[in-house]
Structure 1
Amino acid sequence: MGLIIVANRAPFRLTPEGLVPAVGGLATALLPVLERRHGVWVAAGEWREKGQAATPRESQVRLEQVFFPEKEWQGYYGGFSNRVLWPLCHYFLERVELRREFYQDYQRANRRFAERVAEVFREGDTVFVQDYHLLLLPRLLRERIAAKIGFFFHIPWPSSGVFRILPWGRALVEGVLGADLIGFHTPEYVENFLRTAAYYGYQVEGNRVRVGERWVRVEAHPLGIDTGRFGELSQDPHIGLHARALKRLAGAERLILGVDRLDYTKGILERLLAYERLLQSYPQWRGRVAFFQIATPSRTSVHAYRELKRRVDEVVGRIMGSFLREDWVPLRYFYQTYTQEELAAFYRAADVALITPLRDGMNLVAMEYAYTTEDGVLVLSNLAGAAEYLKEALLVNPYDLDGMAQALDRALRMPEGERRERLSALKARIEALNVQGWAERFLASLEEG
């Protein structure tokens, strides 16, 4: 039985030697499963090789690419996916741009994906569609091929009251309901989707939605990290040396770490303000604590992201201007991309990780830190999907600056026994959410259902 994965992004990166498998995210979750089945990954086109699809090296996976006219790509990806669906699903309604031409390009792009999948489909294949870029695709595929179709939504599905702001909400839900099994990270997102389907007139019974003569199942399948990989990184002596060097660079008793893409959903600005509040409200930590914030550049061509960077830069400057001393640097801001190995050194160096997205589908950085650190404390937003599973973290409201400052003070003072007890429980939970298990569990449910 064959397997076709459909996602906007391919699981490979381009090197001078050719395409090689990417590390982390969906690539880590799905490539091993796809390779065992000698399957096909269908993605938006990035590379051409002599007019044909580029061939990945060192992989049993066949990559098939979908190419777009530039204007259509901008409307589908930069427009509807990232200026309509992304802000709406993260509850940033003031950033939603309801432009009909964006939706029209989104429709065209989803049809292109459907046509490409239909071309590579063979009888008996299972199709697994990924994420918010392809909400219309399951129904388009059902019209073209006879296959088991799974769909997974990797970001939050918002409340039905928020989702129905979209003029095209009914068509999007109809698109998703072309699948046999729909997956989300948390029970809350499952419930939100079921309520949305009920609003548009679908019969809902338990976790099933009736579509004509079919019943579509909706399930929570939480995605985790590659625990084997991060277990190795937590013991690597070279990474240990790097971690000790970072600790010396911090020049303080305690080190707090934040790691994110520079995206308005990640709460970086509010996190910096909370650290400023800590230094104002708990002056005993001045000179004794340092904060490293890693912000990976993201969507730098989009005005909202450039504006966010400007505001973050201003707050960084203000904190430094207010608290910097000759013998103490309170904050270091790293606006750059790091490898998994480099991030692991930061994880091992940090006494506290402050991971406070304003809304997040899951948040794997929180899991990476908790699984890699030896005795650190995780302070986590209660609006991240991961908060559903990582109950032993210190959960905070990412909009409450005083509450976050209080949690930081508690984390910095936490006794060793409590730290280790919380961390041991977190590691056990993360082990159970291992990323390879996620793919196997979802596909088993799809194919047996």
Structure 2
Amino acid sequence: MTYDPAFLNLASVALVAVAMSAIAIAISIAAWRRRPVPRADDAGQARRTAQEPPRQLLPEFEQNNRLAETPMIAWTADTMRHVIESELPDAEIILVSNREPYIHNLKNGKVELIVPASGLVSALEPVMRACAGTWIAHGGGTADRMVVDRHDRIEVPPDGPRYTLSRVWLSEEEQKGYYLGFANDGLWPLCHIVFTRPIFRESDWEAYRAVNQKFADRIVAEARTPDPVVLVQDYHFALVPRMVRDKLPDATIVTFWHIPWPNPEVFSICPWREQILDGLLGSSVVGFHIQFHCNNFTDSVDRFLESRIEREHSSISYGGQTTLVHPYPISIEWPPAALATQPTVQECRDRMLSRHGLDPQTKLLVGVERLDYTKGILDRFLAFQQLFERYPEWVGKLVFVQIAAPSRGTLPAYRELHAECRAFVDAFNRRFGDKDYQPILLLDQHHNQSDIYTAYRAADACVVSSLHDGMNLVAKEFVASRDDEQGVLILSTFAGASRELLDALIVNPFDPSAMAEAMQHAITMPEDEQRERMHRLREVVSTNNVYRWAGALLQDAARLRKRNRAVENGAAPAPSPPPQPFLRRVLAGPLSRRRGSEARARVDIK
């Protein structure tokens, strides 16, 4: 076939034109992508103040240059100390929480030291040991006043002091209104959305505000410098950041909210929603466990406050100040201190079975919780009942050991839950047990950390069936306890930990049938599959440990602090890279993480 030359010339011209058009379109698209994002001002978008945020503050936080995000580093207390020495060498670090890490009680005329079994304490206490700061907390022990100095301080831990515990005293009336009332009768059910109605009383709000002011005043009193790093912990202190900011405008305030944050529709229930948001936005950084809760918080601010939302930078500009909103998944120390004193897994198992008079061949399911309606304790019992109904061969061969520490027993919802759990267990054991066999053992008293780890190591499976949970450290403690790489974790999809622990059996606690099948899968799982799953779970928990969590918080605080100082001194703040000498030292030394005998890839830093 032949073509007319004129036709071929015309076709060539057309092809060139098409090619040039394509290039022009590509250039236009690239330019469009680089354009500034338009700021819509309609009611559906974020409402903005006339004052622009200090945009030079933000780009650095988009860069993946934190040591906490460097996967080849094994994070330990030593790593944490190196970070503090290199990035916060002159910083004063103050932590505030309601719960104290050490409690002194009078028992038989003698002072007894108690380390509370608290997820918050177990996560933060190793960090404070590493940074040698000041921990401000409510002193609630019966002998707490007897052991402090004239400034209400005591050096802890007792066996080798590493930091200062500063105790704040609350009256019974203050404790009732602030803690039991507004915090736990109001904010706790509001944020967890588990169909327990939150109760808001004006008297509780007044107590909450007064106690927040008392703690803020103590922070200011403890501060020896005008720009300390203040770490505010949890929903008990939503107003503290703003109160501290008013007195210490140069402070770097990092607030971590340990429980979920609800969507704006649910949050609108709170009568003092604007004051809560205003208080939190006194922070330099507000942290949550997962991005979903960050989004809910930002959406709440967008709905209720006149503010500028910069979603691409995860920041909120309000009242002339910019607050960053970031996820920081909390974890536990690795390896956990409680594991060091544990006997072998077989000895732990023998001890548990002997203690409760169980046959050596008995399979064990274990749950460890506070008696709280958010933990889904009754839901796991309902699933256990369905397991027995579907697989009756397990009756007499399987026992559920539920450690359930009493909590907030003066609140009606908690008293009712305790009574309901006890009644269900009694009826269940009458139906499926006898005088020699009780299929559910409800251990509704406080246990020390050593006993809890013994239970973890003895278990064939651990059940975490939270109806809503910010993270849940029980899941991570169970994984950390299983250095034999056996045992199965059954984990609620509504716990933040389910975003990380993907090799658990993920369940919906509102579906007892599916949860019963997960229990059946767990107790019949071959050892090889258990080993593969647990190995991967342990890698996640060991890598993403509490020091990495705190490292991310402190490194963000350090960068903000450096930038604020640069702005005050009139210097143009430039992005600060990771501390290279420290990173080189870590990667070259024993802190570098290895998998078996094979080292991870190293980074050559020039």
TM-superposition CA deviations, 1:98-141 (whole Å, max 9, x none): 21111111111111111121112122311111100000111111
The yes-or-no answer on 1:229 pairing with 2:336 is yes
| Secondary structure at 2:335 match in 1 | helix
- 1:5 corresponds in structure 2 to 95
Q: Does the 8 Å contact 1:2/1:38 carry over to 2?
A: no
Cα distance change of structure 1 residues 19 and 232 upon mapping to structure 2, 3 Å threshold? closer
Is residue 171 of structure 2 the alignment partner of residue 69 of structure 1? yes
Is the deviation greater in 12-21 or in 169-178? 12-21
Q: Which residue of 2 aligns with 1:155?
A: 259
Does residue 401 of structure 1 match 2:512?
Answer: yes
The match for 2:446 among 322, 337, 361 is 337
Partner of 2:431: 322
Q: Structure 1, residues 63-101: CA drift from partner, whole Å, max 9, x if none?
A: 222223332221111100110001111114543112111
Q: Secondary structure at the match of 2:179?
A: helix
Equivalent residue number for residue 14 of structure 1: 104
Deviation at 1:202, TM superposition (A): 2.4
The aligned residue for residue 348 of structure 2 is 242
- Could you tell me how far apart the structure 1 residues matched to 2:394 and 2:121 are? 41
1:55 and 2:154 correspond = yes
**Alignment partners' CA distance in 2, 1:376 and 1:36:** 32
Q: 1:442 Cα shift?
A: 0.8
Preserved CA contact (<8 Å) 2:117 2:448 = no
Q: Which amino acid aligns with 1:43?
A: A
Paired residue secondary structure (1:89): helix
- Pairing partner for 2:303 from 190, 193, 199: 199
Who is 1:137 aligned against? Answer: 240
TM superposition shift of 1:40: 1.6
CA 1:359/1:93 → structure 2, altered by over 3 Å: closer, same or farther? Answer: same
Distance 1:120 1:169, change over 3 A: same
**1:283 shift after superposition:** 1.7
Residues 230 and 368 of structure 1 are in contact (CA less than 8 Å); yes or no, is this contact kept in structure 2?
A: no
Residue 25 of structure 1 aligns with which residue? 119
Against the structure 1 CA distance between its residues 398 and 438, is the aligned structure 2 distance closer, same or farther, given a 3 Å change threshold?
same
What corresponds to 1:355 in structure 2?
A: 464
Please tell me the residue identity of whatever aligns with 2:506: L
Q: Tell me, what secondary structure is at the counterpart of 1:441?
A: helix
8 Å CA contact retained: 2:338, 2:449? no
Distance in 1 separating the partners of 2:418 and 2:176: 22
1:390-443 superposed Cα distances (whole Å, 9 cap, x missing partner)? 111111111111111111112122222222111111111111221122222211
Aligned pairs for 1:198-217 within 5 A: 198-200=302-304, 201-206=306-311, 207-217=314-324
1:425 corresponds to which letter in structure 2?
R
Q: Point out where structure 2 has 5 or more consecutive residues left out of the alignment.
A: 1-90, 561-606
2:324 alignment partner, SS class? strand
Q: Distance in 1 between matches of 2:331 and 2:353?
A: 28
Tell me the SS of whatever aligns to 1:63: strand
Which of the two has higher C-alpha Rg?
A: 2
Correspondences of 1:39-118 after superposition (within 5 Å): 39-46=133-140, 47-49=144-146, 52-56=151-155, 57=158, 58-118=160-220
Instruction: Check the 8 A contact 1:353/1:378 in 2, yes or no.
Output: yes
Q: Distance in 1 between matches of 2:126 and 2:526?
A: 41
Deviation at 1:237?
2.5
Deviation of residue 18 (structure 1)? 7.0
Encode CA deviations 1:42-77: one digit per residue, 9 max, x unaligned. 222333247651523332322222223332221111
Q: In the superposition, relative to structure 1, how do residues 21 and 316 fare at CA in structure 2: closer, same or farther (>3 Å)?
A: closer
Deviations 1:294-342 (A, max 9, x none): 1111122222211111111111111111111466432222112222111
Q: Distance in 1 between matches of 2:474 and 2:369?
A: 8
Corresponding residue SS for 2:503 = coil
1:412 & 1:64 partners in 2: Cα distance?
47
Q: CA deviation at 1:273?
A: 1.3
Instruction: Give the Å deviation of 1:238.
Output: 6.2
Aligned length: 448
RMSD between aligned residues: 2.2
- Using structure 2 for the length normalisation, give the TM-score: 0.70
- SS at structure 1 position matched to 2:176: helix
* C-alpha separation in 2, matches of 1:213 and 1:377: 50
Matched residue SS, 2:135: strand
| Contact persistence 1:230–1:371 (CA under 8 A) | no
Deviation at 1:27, TM superposition (A): 3.6
Residue 386 of structure 1 is matched in structure 2 by 497
Q: Is the 8 A contact 2:338 2:453 kept in 1?
A: no
The 3 A distance-change label for structure 1 pair 54 and 208 is closer
Who is 2:568 aligned against?
Answer: none
Letter of the structure 2 residue corresponding to residue 144 of structure 1: K
AA at the equivalent of 1:39: G
Deviation at 1:225, TM superposition (A): 1.3
Q: CA deviation at 1:25?
A: 3.4
Determine what percentage of the aligned residue pairs are the same residue: 36
Which residue does 1:417 correspond to in 2?
Answer: 528
Does residue 287 of structure 2 align to residue 178 of structure 1? no
Alignment of 1:423-442 (within 5 A): 423-442=534-553
Q: Is the 8 A contact 2:194 2:468 kept in 1?
A: no
1:277 paired to 2:383: no
CA distance in 1, matches of 2:128, 2:231: 11
Residue 274 of structure 1 and its aligned partner are, at CA, apart by 1.1
TM-score by length of 1: 0.94
Contact kept? 1:31, 1:61, Cα under 8 Å: no
- 1:23 and 1:71 map into 2 onto residues whose CA distance is 25
Query: Is the contact made by 1:11 and 1:21 (CA closer than 8 Å) also made in structure 2?
Result: yes
Give a deviation string over 1:194-241, Cα, whole Å, max 9, x none: 1111112422212111113322111111111122126844x8336742
Counterpart amino acid of residue 404 in structure 2:
A
Q: 2: distance between equivalents of 1:228 and 1:94?
A: 37
Q: How far apart are the structure 1 equivalents of 2:351 and 2:458?
A: 8
Contact 2:342–2:453 (CA under 8 A) maintained in structure 1: no
Cα deviation code 1:245-274 (max 9, x no counterpart): 324544244211111111111111111111
Conserved? CA contact 2:400–2:440, under 8 Å: yes
Equivalent pair of 1:381/1:398 in contact (CA under 8 Å): yes
Counterpart contact for 1:260–1:294, Cα < 8 Å: yes
